[in-house]
Amino acid sequence: MATTNTPPLQWAKSSYSTENGGACLEWAPDHASASGIVPVRDSKTPHGPVLNLSLSAFAGLVTLARSSDI
């Protein structure tokens, strides 16, 4: 079986994240640009699950978040 040496994802926090531990979302923009898949995770659980979204699904998530009182 062949193995690949994939570099670790470079995570960026949401601009809505706070230093006080508020609701924090991170995504990997470099990976999204290169692959068209947007990895999303909870910054409070960096070794937890990652949700992989299409570019259009991620855009929909951002639109929903901006329009809601979440």
Residue 7: its pLDDT value, please?
Answer: 76
User: What letters, b where the CB count within 10 A reaches 16 and e where it falls short, cover 7-39?
Assistant: eebebeebeebeeeeeebbbbbeebbeeeeebb
pLDDT score of 2 more than 70: no
**What digits encode the pLDDT tens for the residues 25-37?**
899 999 999 999 9
* pLDDT, average across residues 36-58: 94
pLDDT score of 13 more than 90: no
Task: Specify the 3-state DSSP secondary structure of 54.
Answer: strand
The amino acid that residue 28 corresponds to is A
pTM of the shown model: 0.76
Looking at per-residue pLDDT, the higher value among 55 and 19 belongs to: 55
Q: Where are the domains of the chain?
A: 23-67
